[in-house]
Amino acid sequence: MDKPRWLPATGTPEDFPPASEALHEPNGLLAVGGRLDPEWLLAAYVRGLFPWYEAGQPILWWSPDPRAVLIPEELHVSRRLQRTMRTSSTRMSADTDFVAVIEACAARRHYTDDTWITPQMRDAYITMHGLGWAHSFEAWGDDELIGGLYGLAIGNVFFGESMFSRRTDASKIAFVNSVAFLRDRGFELIDCQVWSHHLKTLGARTIPRENFLELLDTLCSADRAPGPWSADYERFAQSTL
């Protein structure tokens, strides 16, 4: 394919082309258009796709090759971060303030005026959270939200979307604790989408898209009902004290 496939908003998720047809440049761009309702989002993720675009652009669907992933057992916590976590008073929770987390992730950073979490994206993932598919992990300091992340859970795969930090290492602390929780619940793969040095320091690696899609075929079919994680995380946190 020499250009991305156009998806009419009147169509269905079955209109998604195979991820293998994604462009090489820009890496992973597969389709344009469609919708961000739950049916489309769930169909996209199990196909190895995710939406990523800026304000003023149509919905863009991506499936980069290679794909950045983290196997929960391969999580790497540096000695410095271990020391920070031992002395930190940071309190963790899950699904207690999804809206605040996604709004913090959407906030413009000091190094750019751009944000890919448009109001349309924000509303779509808040809807997914209400349905029990999207989840947030929150890091608290003195009852203030200082870091966190959110993503989607389908079967035994957690699809990470974005994270933020308002204090040094707050997002890393949130990430490490979220991985521990996911591993405890039987998740076998965390999708990190695009490789970065930051993710590498935490143990992420890249795998060919073909291998990633094979993993999704197996792991996304695991029997796991959607629903809130707040009580489950509280029990998990108590058990690890």
- Sign of the C-alpha dihedral computed for residues 11, 17, 18 and 20 taken in this order: negative
Strands (E), 8-133: 29-33, 50-51, 60-62, 67-70, 91-94
Neighbours of 239 (CB within 10 A): 8
For residue 44, how many other CB atoms are within 10 A of its CB? 25
pLDDT means over runs of 10, the chain (241 residues):
93 98 98 98 99 95 98 97 94 98 84 74 98 99 96 99 96 97 98 93 97 99 97 95 69
Q: Work out whether strand 5-7 and strand 29-33 pair parallel, antiparallel, or are unpaired.
A: parallel
> Looking at this protein, which amino acid is placed at residue 105?
C
* Start-to-end CA span in the chain (Å): 53
Q: DSSP H helical segments within 50-153, as ranges?
A: 79-87, 98-106, 119-130
Predicted pLDDT at 16:
98
pLDDT of residue 36: 98
- CATH number listed for the domain at residues 68-239: 3.40.630.70
Q: Look at residue 116 in the predicted model and tell me its pLDDT.
A: 82
Angle made by CA atoms 86, 89, 92, in degrees to the nearest 5: 95
Return the domain boundaries, the chain: 5-64, 68-239
| Full strand arrangement of the beta sheet holding 5-7 | 5-7, 29-33, 60-62, 50-51
Instruction: Select the CATH number that applies to the domain covering 5-64 from these four: 3.30.70.3550, 1.20.1250.20, 3.10.180.10, 1.20.990.10.
Output: 3.30.70.3550
